[in-house]
Amino acid sequence: MKISASENQKPYLLMVPPWLGNNLSFNPLIKILNLSYECIVVELPGFGFKPEIKGAKHSILEYEKVLDEEISKLSADRKLYVLGCSMGCSIIATYLHKNRNGGMRKIASCVFLSPLLHEIKLDQKSKFMINFLLLKTPLPNLIKNACKYRVFRRLLFFMGDNNLKSIDWNVADKYALGFIPKVSTNAIIESTLSAIKFKWPEGLFINIPTKVIYGRADSLYKDNPPESYASKFVNDFSIDAYAGGYHFLLLQKAETTAFDIRNFLEKY
């Protein structure tokens, strides 16, 4: 999906959504960033607005092919930035690693929101929720239908972090109601397994300027804050850690995040 302004020479900002995400995921950011960039959201198959992949797994490796295809459509005359959120960061990293020896469209800089830079180590509660989700039953469909009700939307967004007071529910409710009923059951199951098992490619090293933004209260970073290992993957990076921020920064601190992104991209 493309959301563009009247001017057609703005830099591209290609946005790769998180797990189960689509263009609705980035609406809070696009409202601000679209003033300076032509924001293009990569629609991932099975996540609401693009049909699921027939005969292939809904995995990070398959989604990288979708990203590659979208980048190939863009004009080479305009500057390109990329932004990923959560699983979207892993998709971008896979693309960068695959094209590390040349042949890649030049990317000016990169932004990672709540990236999964390390192998996920789930606590017991999260393991229970994931196993519950992946049962080979109609459960994923029940989850999609349950999200029509506010209490279940609360559980969906904060299965791991549980801070219901920090989220902008006016935004979150529109987000869930808009896409959850359209998400493919296969995409839910297969992409979840792919994200949990995914390890960043061995030898991956990103040589473009990169901004990492995450929430200090995000349970994924309890034992592995990005400051402790980002240098293993990225040559030129800066980090913004939001106090009280959780994994869903797009629904929690969208305006702050958008301005921080814009200030970073303007340097390149």
- Report residue 6's pLDDT band, with 50, 70 and 90 as the boundaries: very low
Q: What percent of the chain has pLDDT over 90?
A: 27
* 246 vs 151, more confident: 246
Rounded CA separation 84/107 (Å): 13
**What distance, in Å, lies between the first and last C-alpha atoms of the chain?**
25
- At residue 188, the pLDDT reads 75
Domain that holds residue 211: 2-265
Rounded CA separation 267/216 (Å): 25
As a whole number, the mean pLDDT across the chain is: 77
Q: Please report which residue ranges of the chain form alpha helices under DSSP H.
A: 27-33, 60-72, 87-98, 124-133, 139-146, 150-157, 169-179, 185-197, 249-252, 254-265
Give the total number of structural domains in the chain.
Answer: 1
CATH of the domain at 145: 3.40.50.1820
Mean pLDDT across 32-39: 94
Lowest-pLDDT range of 84-98, 103-117, 175-189, 231-245: 175-189
Cβ atoms of 38 and 12 closer than 8 Å:
yes
CB atoms closer than 10 angstroms to residue 60: 20
- At residue 2, the pLDDT reads 46
| pLDDT per residue as tens digits for the range 159-200 | 544 455 556 666 666 666 555 656 777 777 777 777 777 776
* 131 vs 99, more confident: 99
Q: What's the DSSP call for residue 51?
A: P
Cβ atoms of 22 and 88 closer than 8 Å:
no
Strands 2-3 vs 38-41: parallel, antiparallel or unpaired: antiparallel
| pLDDT per residue as tens digits for the range 209-247 | 999 999 888 877 877 788 877 777 777 888 999 988 878
Buried/exposed 74-113: b ≥16 CB within 10 Å, e otherwise: eeeeebbbbbbbbbbbbbbbbbbbbeeeeeeeebebbbbb
82: left (phi over 0), alpha (psi -120 to 50) or beta: beta
* 5 vs 163, more confident: 163
- At residue 207, the pLDDT reads 83
Q: Which of the given ranges, 21-25, 100-104, 170-174, has the highest pLDDT on average?
A: 21-25
User: Which helix (H) or strand (E) is 167 found in, with range?
Assistant: none
| pLDDT beyond 60 at 127 | no
Cβ atoms of 18 and 87 closer than 8 Å:
yes
Cα 46 vs. chain centroid, distance in angstroms? 15
